[in-house]
Structure 1
Amino acid sequence: MMSVPREYPMLSEPVQPVFDPVPHNHPDPSCHEDTASSIQLGGHQQGHFRRNSSEDLVGLGERQESDGFTTVQRKKSSKGVDIPRPSSRVTRSQTVASCVDHPQFLHIRVEDPRLSRPMYITPVYASCSPVGRRDLWMGLHQISLVVDGPWMVGGDFNVIAHNGERTGHNTRDRGTSDFVDMMMDCGLTNAGYSGSQYTWTNGRVWKRLDRVLINSAVGSSCSRFSVRHLNRSTSEHSPLLIEWSCDDDLGPRPFRFLNVWSRHHDFLSFVSQKWSFPTHHTGMTALWEKIFRLKQGLRWWNRHVFGDIFQRVRDAECRVDEAESVYDSDPTPAHRDTLY
């Protein structure tokens, strides 16, 4: 276990998911952690997280109602993050432990059998004040001195890194130099991104306030690492979708039954056809063969019958991304109508 600067309170126990199916209000900003792993950070709308339910970790930056999430509340009421996860993805083999509890971030240590080493993740919700952010920069600097593995820091930093990350006004952003100095002191670099250039807008000004920073150990541990700016939808901020895979992540995916299959008009007849197909075995061997054959058939059926449905969703999201990019570069009323 890494040592932690004493000036920041620690949670004395590992964070363990507790199932809570009843919708409830979160008093604070919140944070949520397969062969390939993924995270969503920022983007303060529930719709993205409910739709993309395969994410392993979700970090939210504003108050909201949460339905269908398993939640572990922070032990402080200060600004920061909670750790929720969809109830269907809770596994005993995963361990998420809070290392540092800071008003502007929550530093967590994630262990998973699919990862060759622990991963450190720090969701951030920075102060709007340049003076207030100095405490955040100091906290991240102290963590950088003791972190001993792959480390990613992401969320709403409330500051840009250079003037090219804004448009719509000529006012100089305060605190930019402090932000850049922090990245250099902590050994953090921008992870890059795909999608819209700006992650925040109020309709008149556009800025890249949300981003993901990584240390050198992430590059050496992950064979693939990407960050995507999702469309903003009803929020002023874009969610950040982080995906990565490690060399140890290779191998077959386990079979998963999708509840949506049962709503298809051909589902029961397809299952009946596969199950009734004759077998030359008896007893448990016959049962195993039927189950194996059904799983293989459902994989094919899902790919060819439901694949087009998922593709239509992806196509719709791409159209929204394109419309958002056009509106960001040329915010005319006509382009706004196309987007919304």
Structure 2
Amino acid sequence: MGSNGNHSLSVVLQRVEDASKVVFTGVYGPSLRVEKRRFWEELNVVRDRWVFPWCIGGDFNEIRFVGERSGCRRTTRNMVAFDDFIANHELVDLPLSGARFTWNRGESQSRIDRFLICPGWSNLVPDVYQRSLIHSVSDHCPILLDPRLQSWGRPPFRFEIAWLQAPRMEERLGEWWSFIKSKGPSDVVIGRKLRFVKKKLREWVKEKRAFDQNRLRWLESRIGEINFLEGEGNGNSNLREELGRIKAEHNGILLHEEISWRQKSRVKWLKEGIRTRHIFMPWLVLGGGKLYSSDGSLRPTPEELVFKRLDEDQCRVLEKPFEEEEIEKGVFSLGRDKAPGPDGFCLAFFKHVGHM
């Protein structure tokens, strides 16, 4: 359940634990002054449609106070209208931690991105706050609405395709896979190898995540320093070149995280192909009459049907044991992120090991 407007998209969400409902509205405010009045009217209609707790967030393309835009010296009518909208709906503008501004381009800086919540939302999700994240691609700074959820312990093991892009990963997997040299049935040997590889991967992932997090913190700190210097008018060509290199590295680390989350959520991006949706049409109405529908005639019963039968040669082919070549062909024809079993290894791992 939801609605969409010219500048907003709203959805009704239901919590699993208590079936309570909340409304979230994502916005992208207009930049033209003449359209801002219709923007607030659109949001008023959204709020009047539901009585559930409301959270609204996104790019409002407007500031509330003079100090939220560099170089701003006076309060405008649009700023007053934004402030009145928040007051009329008794919304809470959560304090922003991490940065003063959420958008910058050259020397221009503004806080035009934010989350607003009603008191009912904060009752359902207490201790919520918003903080800015470092941006390396967009002019906008990502804003995280953090409910400070508790940790539920270590997640189960899942092999991530993004790991295959790490330097020397092919060499590592080959060493780990060949390290166990045991005899016995194939399934037992493979099971021992998988358990050993899983153990080594857990150790490697722990070290890599610690390194990436430390590296991200340093990159984000340096990006913040350079942005501050440029905002103060102390930028130069060397700093801009350094900023470009740092943002590229920062974006590369985030891209690996994106691949990981994409696999976890089982999302297929458009560039990877679209799965065709089959549409069932029970009948077609034309000129008041139904086409392709049942004509009411009796259908034959199963006893009246004559089915084709397999001959002895065809039966023998079906009953033959699977050959290694057939199994390999079947495995390598499946998607790389498919079929993670209880061991947590997806097809990408087995395909990779199969080529070693």
Using the alignment, how far apart are the partners of 2:15 and 2:212 within structure 1?
A: 32
- From 131, 143, 148, give the equivalent of 2:46: 143
- From 300, 321, 325, give the equivalent of 2:228: 325
2:122 is matched with 219
What's the Cα RMSD here? 3.6
State the AA in 1 paired with 2:41: M
Does 1:197 find its partner at 2:100?
yes
- Name the structure, 1 or 2, with higher relative contact order (CA <8 Å, separation 6+): 1
State the AA in 2 paired with 1:331: G
1:228 is matched with 131
Matches within 5 A, 1:289-308: 294-305=197-208, 307-308=210-211
Q: Which structure's residues are more often strand, by fraction?
A: 1
- SS of the residue corresponding to residue 31 of structure 2 reads coil
Could you say if the C-alpha distance between residues 253 and 234 of structure 1 is closer, same or farther in structure 2, counting changes exceeding 3 Å? closer
2:159 is matched with 257
- From 111, 114, 122, give the equivalent of 1:208: 111
2:301 is matched with none
1:137 to partner: Cα distance: 2.0
1:43 is matched with none
Q: Is the 8 A contact 2:107 2:230 kept in 1?
A: no
Using the alignment, how far apart are the partners of 1:114 and 1:312 within structure 2?
A: 37
Q: Is the 8 A contact 1:121 1:151 kept in 2?
A: yes
- Structure 2 gap ranges (5+): 245-356
Could you say if the C-alpha distance between residues 231 and 310 of structure 1 is closer, same or farther in structure 2, counting changes exceeding 3 Å? closer
Matches within 5 A, 1:85-234: 97=1, 99-111=2-14, 113=16, 117-222=20-125, 225-234=128-137
Using the alignment, how far apart are the partners of 2:20 and 2:190 within structure 1?
A: 39
TM-score (structure 1 length as normaliser): 0.57
Q: Which moved more, 1:253-262 or 1:222-231?
A: 222-231
Q: Percent identity?
A: 25
Q: Which structure's residues are more often helix, by fraction?
A: 2
Detail structure 1 runs of 4+ shifted over 6 Å in the superposition.
281-290
> Cα deviations across residues 304-326 of structure 1 (Å, max 9, x unaligned)?
24531443234212211232234
Residue correspondences, number: 239
- Structure 1 gap ranges (5+): 1-96
Could you say if the C-alpha distance between residues 198 and 148 of structure 1 is closer, same or farther in structure 2, counting changes exceeding 3 Å? same
Using the alignment, how far apart are the partners of 1:253 and 1:115 within structure 2?
A: 24
1:268 is matched with 173
Using the alignment, how far apart are the partners of 2:18 and 2:154 within structure 1?
A: 16
| Larger CA Rg, structure 1 vs 2 | 2
Q: Is the 8 A contact 1:232 1:239 kept in 2?
A: yes
- SS of the residue corresponding to residue 220 of structure 2 reads helix
Using the alignment, how far apart are the partners of 2:125 and 2:199 within structure 1?
A: 30
Using the alignment, how far apart are the partners of 2:228 and 2:12 within structure 1?
A: 35
1:107 to partner: Cα distance: 0.7
